[in-house]
């Protein structure tokens, strides 16, 4: 698989009123992502509530996305789980249904204790899908596993034949740049902090995965376009719209708040699963008012691809 260029949306789980997974909305989500100009979707990750789903549900969701995408857009399937045996089942299934790539976080209950231990664990997962590109999902704030990622690449490239790169969800831009530069850019290092997309582009990012691309892709695609045209000030001004939105967002639990934005855009995803809880009606109204105050929706709509 060639390196991924552009934006991958980390999509949200969708539930019916009875709490079961809603598969019927997936084609509409995929069509929105394609119409918004995205390169792919990343499913069953943090925003897709992978850890809150059973592996049977995750398999059903993966099948629905692969079918709906029909090779029009990349489908990256997150297969991480606290049990490596379950990760392997998910990885093998993703390969069997024709996913474009798989990804996994580190084990987050019994945690790897060294880079070597992490690599051995990840190699075990990746080997269950020997023909599918693999991305290690580095998200230390949620897993509590913060290893040196250049050390990881050095050891993992020998142990994981399918290693395509890293989904790098951390704000440590200096390490991100070092990973990009490793062996003259051998690996695909996808940046995962949406509100820092512009600084990531400045150190060489070509692809990124993020949750807010699900509902604000045009804004970020404009950042990329302006940056590539050498319009630094305009790119910074556009990126500031993301920063302002995230500053509103972080006053609330981030996943429920982003799901509320999807509802504001006409996608009813149902209630998230415990321990996550949806925003209260008051919080949602206040949140919407704060987004309208910064003109967020109008800005996204005004820069949308015609």
- Domain containing residue 173: CATH number: 3.20.20.70
Query: In angstroms, rounded to a whole number, what is the distance separating the alpha carbons of residues 43 and 60?
Result: 11
**Alpha carbon distances (Å) from 79 to 84, 102, 223:** 10, 7, 30
Assigned domain for 101 exists? yes
pLDDT at residue 196, as a whole number: 98
pLDDT at residue 306, as a whole number: 47
Active centre residues (catalytic): 137, 167
pLDDT at 137 over 70: yes
Assigned domain for 241 exists? no
Assigned domain for 277 exists? no
Assigned domain for 102 exists? yes
Q: Is the peptide bond before 79 cis (omega within 30 degrees of 0)?
A: no
Q: How confident is the model at residue 275 (pLDDT cuts 50, 70, 90)?
A: very high
Assigned domain for 282 exists? no
26 in a known ligand binding site: no
Note down the domain range covering 178. Answer: 6-229
Assigned domain for 242 exists? no
Assigned domain for 199 exists? yes
Write out the DSSP string of 40-98: EEEESSTTTTGGGS-HHHHHHHHHHHHHHHTTSSEEEEE---SSHHHHHHHHHHHHHHT
Q: What is the pLDDT of residues 1-11, one digit of tens each?
A: 789 999 999 99
Assigned domain for 13 exists? yes
Overall domain count for the chain: 1
pLDDT at 124 over 80: yes
* Residue 269 φ/ψ, nearest 5 degrees: -100, 0
Q: What is the pLDDT of residues 45-56, one digit of tens each?
A: 999 999 999 999
Overall average pLDDT of the 168-175 stretch: 97
Overall average pLDDT of the 257-274 stretch: 97
């Amino acid at each position: 698989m060639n390196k991924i260029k552009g934006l991958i949306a980390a999509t949200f789980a969708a539930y019916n009123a009875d709490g079961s997974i809603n598969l019927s909305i997936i084609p509409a989500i995929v069509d929105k992502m394609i119409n918004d100009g995205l390169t792919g979707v990343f499913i069953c990750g943090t925003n897709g509530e992978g850890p809150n789903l059973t592996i049977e549900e995750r398999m059903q969701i993966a099948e629905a996305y692969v079918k709906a995408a029909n090779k029009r857009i990349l489908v990256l399937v997150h297969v991480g789980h606290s049990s490596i045996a379950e990760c392997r089942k998910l990885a093998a299934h993703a390969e069997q249904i024709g996913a474009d790539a798989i990804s996994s976080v580190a084990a987050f209950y019994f945690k790897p204790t060294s880079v070597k231990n992490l690599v051995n664990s990840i190699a075990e997962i990746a080997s269950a899908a020997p023909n599918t590109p693999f991305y290690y999902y580095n998200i230390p704030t949620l897993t509590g596993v913060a290893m040196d990622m250049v050390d990881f690449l050095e050891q993992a490239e020998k142990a994981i034949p399918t290693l395509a790169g890293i989904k790098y969800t951390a704000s440590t831009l200096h390490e991100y740049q070092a990973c990009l530069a490793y062996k003259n850019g051998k690996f695909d290092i996808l940046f995962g902090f949406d509100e820092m997309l512009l600084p990531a582009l400045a150190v060489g990012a070509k692809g990124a995965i993020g949750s807010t691309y699900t509902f604000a892709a045009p804004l970020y695609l404009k950042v990329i376009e302006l940056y590539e045209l050498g319009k630094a000030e305009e790119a910074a001004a556009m990126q500031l719209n993301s920063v302002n939105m995230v500053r509103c967002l972080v006053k609330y639990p981030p996943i429920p708040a982003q799901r509320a934005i999807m509802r504001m855009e006409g996608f009813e995803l149902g209630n998230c699963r415990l321990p996550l809880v949806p925003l209260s009606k008051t919080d949602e109204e206040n949140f919407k008012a704060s987004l309208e105050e910064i003109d967020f929706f109008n800005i996204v709509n005004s820069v949308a691809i015609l």
